[in-house]
């Protein structure tokens, strides 16, 4: 009998065996029966408080990132009755800028790392970049799952890399971006979720929003099932983050609804539920304040 390594065994041991059509049907049922009840301002406030406010462009600069961060400071003064965003997410070279400018203690600093968005660089560079981001003041690190090694069937390389970068985070949280638009199928998304969970991920994240299609409700559903199964087996709670194309309040509420129905109310705080976005924050704030077209962030 052929020896099976522990990485492949973890995937085999998962009881989640859903076809793409079954996932689609399950999502359609949840949205058709549960979505409308979550379209209310209390949910919108939870979503606002779960946003990783993100700027990841080639034109980012110390001045633009400082101004971006200062809007979060100003929000605290202009809307003291509302919860602020969960985090500010930037390239790692701007972490120190955010750390210097940010005055709001409840807002975390997140940095993409590890050769974002392709994950194509030397392992030593990924380690150094992650360590430097943490040393600069990042609370959270978002890395990209190694699609190439996964597609080659080298699960050990995938898992060793995630585990090493988790160690680099020290006390910080590690979010693993599966790039579900590249993985495509429910089976691949399940496999990548299981490998990431057993390698120490603190969050599973859908997408980079760069090269491949962004978040989908179907991917979120599969990822949430994996998080639930992992929690039932180990007692470890892991978060979920949707990212890539989540732009409107309605979009965000659909992800909220999926997580609520699969994982339950205890996952509906920014400790375990995030949405990575830029324009979404304005949409949600406009719906909370009844000011259509509001542009604050």
* Peptide linkage before 117 cis (omega within 30 of 0): yes
Strand bridging mode 140-144 / 108-112: parallel
> Closest Cα to residue 194, out of 41, 21, 10, 33?
10
Is 205 among the catalytic positions?
A: yes
Q: Which of 166, 205, 254, 260 is catalytic?
A: 205
> Closest Cα to residue 197, out of 26, 7, 16?
7
Q: Which of 175, 241, 254, 260 is catalytic?
A: 241
> Closest Cα to residue 43, out of 277, 262, 254, 279?
254
Q: Which of 142, 202, 251, 287 is catalytic?
A: 142
The two structure tokens encoding residue 63? 């001045």
Is 154 among the catalytic positions?
A: no
- Residues classed as catalytic: 142, 205, 241
């Amino acid at each position: 009998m052929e020896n099976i390594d522990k990485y492949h065994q973890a995937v085999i041991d998962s009881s989640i065996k859903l076809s793409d059509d079954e996932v689609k049907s399950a999502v359609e049922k949840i949205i058709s029966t549960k979505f409308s009840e979550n379209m209310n301002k209390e949910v919108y406030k939870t979503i606002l408080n779960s946003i990783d406010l993100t700027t990841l462009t080639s034109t980012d600069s110390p001045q633009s990132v400082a101004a971006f961060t200062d809007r979060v400071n100003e929000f605290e003064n202009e809307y003291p009755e509302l919860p602020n965003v969960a985090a500010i997410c930037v390239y790692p070279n701007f972490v120190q800028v955010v750390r210097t400018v940010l005055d709001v203690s409840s807002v975390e600093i997140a940095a993409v790392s590890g050769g974002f968005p392709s994950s194509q660089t030397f392992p030593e560079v990924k380690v150094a970049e992650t360590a430097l981001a943490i040393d600069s003041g990042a609370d959270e690190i978002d890395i990209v799952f190694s699609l190439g090694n996964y597609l080659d069937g080298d699960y050990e390389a995938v898992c060793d890399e995630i585990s090493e970068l988790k160690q680099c985070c020290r006390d910080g949280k590690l979010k693993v971006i599966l790039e579900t638009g590249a993985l495509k199928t429910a089976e691949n998304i399940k496999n990548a979720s299981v490998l990431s969970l057993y390698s120490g991920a603190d969050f599973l994240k859908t997408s980079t929003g760069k090269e491949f299609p962004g978040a989908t409700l179907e991917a979120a559903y599969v990822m949430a099932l994996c998080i639930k199964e992992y929690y039932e087996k180990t007692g470890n709670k892991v978060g979920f983050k949707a990212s890539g194309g989540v732009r409107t309040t309605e979009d965000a509420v659909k992800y909220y609804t999926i997580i609520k129905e699969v994982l339950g109310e205890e996952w509906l705080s920014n400790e375990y539920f995030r949405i990575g976005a830029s324009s979404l924050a304005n949409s949600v704030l406009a719906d909370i304040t009844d000011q259509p077209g509001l542009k604050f962030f």
